[in-house]
């Protein structure tokens, strides 16, 4: 099994912060009692677990989708999961201002999206009552003000490292916590390596597939996105490469050289270029595959 590169705790602590992203929302799931007369089944009811949606509302889905799009926009370009706890991301200091700007704009733009749901929440509740019949429980439904209060985009920043103030309590306690932190950070950066290697491998394999002739030997259609997605990954890699190994950095650098000055149009007209790029990406994908020793160890809960 490949051994991950030892993490440089001091370097990461000096150049990285933790973003705690809090995407608040109203609950839309309820567990139905297995004894409910609304459920007709031959299954042993002790083995039965059923959930229902409180709402079937486009306005609610718009709120949730907006929050997810915000999270995706910063994850794709500016940060990586901390692998410590859900909602926490590692961000390089040079990306803080940009992430802060994105989140402030998103927070402001989210207000009318939430209000659109809040303004019809009573109507959507009444519609749910008709559809849920005996399983409807009015006490579970939020009103206008509760929707506005609970749907939110909030965030805060934390430093990376063991607090020096712990030394005032006990030097040995500080060293003990420092060791725990170093181990956690090693696990986190191992996860980042696997995550970014997997992303790069997926892009490489997709490009190889598009550059491989079809069953009749004819070249496949190559869209601009095939190269564009690779270059987008390369553009964001330096900001997301936190504790990445020399091996991963080398393969990403090679990807950059393979697509440097290359466009989808170039690949369409040149057989030799297609073969060269395809061969190079096959080798890169194989190297990246060897780095993906396991899936990143996730924290308990959702990201």
Distance CA 2, CA 23 (A): 36
Per-residue pLDDT reduced to its tens digit, 64-118: 999 999 999 999 999 999 887 788 999 999 999 999 999 999 999 999 999 999 9
User: Mean pLDDT over all residues of the chain?
Assistant: 89
Per-residue pLDDT reduced to its tens digit, 136-174: 999 999 999 999 999 999 999 988 766 666 667 777 766
- 241 confidence band (pLDDT: 50, 70, 90): very high
pLDDT surpassing 90 at residue 4: no
Q: Which residues have a Cβ under 8 Å from the Cβ of 110 and sit 6 or more positions away?
A: 63, 66, 67, 70, 151, 152, 153
Q: Which residues have a Cβ under 8 Å from the Cβ of 179 and sit 6 or more positions away?
A: none
pLDDT surpassing 60 at residue 190: yes
Q: Which residues have a Cβ under 8 Å from the Cβ of 278 and sit 6 or more positions away?
A: 207, 208, 211, 212
**135 is written with which tokens?**
């399983």
3-class DSSP state of 110 = helix
Q: What is the pTM of this model?
A: 0.84
Residue range 194-210: average pLDDT? 95
Nearest one of 217, 208, 219, 209 to 269, comparing CA atoms: 219
Lowest mean pLDDT among 9-18, 117-126, 243-252: 9-18
């Amino acid at each position: 099994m490949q051994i991950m590169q030892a993490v440089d705790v001091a370097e990461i602590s000096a150049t990285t912060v933790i973003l705690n992203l809090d995407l608040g929302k109203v609950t839309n799931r309820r567990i139905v009692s297995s004894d409910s007369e609304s459920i007709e089944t031959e299954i042993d009811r002790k083995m039965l677990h059923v959930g229902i949606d409180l709402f079937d509302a486009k306005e609610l889905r718009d709120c949730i989708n907006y929050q997810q799009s915000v999270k995706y926009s910063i994850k794709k370009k500016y940060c990586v999961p901390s692998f410590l706890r859900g909602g926490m991301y590692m961000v390089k200091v040079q990306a803080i201002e940009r992430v802060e700007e994105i989140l402030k704009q998103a927070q402001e733009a989210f207000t009318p999206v939430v209000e659109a749901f809040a303004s019809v929440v009573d109507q959507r509740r009444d519609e749910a009552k008709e559809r849920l019949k005996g399983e409807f429980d009015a006490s579970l439904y939020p009103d206008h003000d509760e929707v506005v209060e609970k749907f939110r985009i909030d965030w805060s920043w934390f430093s990376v490292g063991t607090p020096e103030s712990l030394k005032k309590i006990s030097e040995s306690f500080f060293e003990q916590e420092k060791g725990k932190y170093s181990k956690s950070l090693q696990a986190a950066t191992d996860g980042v390596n696997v995550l970014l290697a997997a992303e790069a491998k997926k892009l490489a394999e997709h490009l190889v597939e598009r550059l491989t002739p079809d069953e009749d030997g004819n070249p496949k259609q190559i869209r601009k996105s095939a190269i564009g997605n690779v270059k987008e990954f390369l553009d964001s890699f330096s900001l997301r490469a936190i504790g990445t190994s020399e091996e991963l950095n080398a393969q990403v650098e090679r990807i950059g050289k393979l697509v440097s000055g290359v466009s989808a149009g170039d690949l369409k007209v040149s057989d030799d270029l297609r073969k060269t790029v395809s061969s190079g990406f096959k080798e890169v994908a194989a190297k990246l595959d060897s780095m993906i020793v396991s899936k990143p160890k996730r924290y308990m809960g959702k990201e």
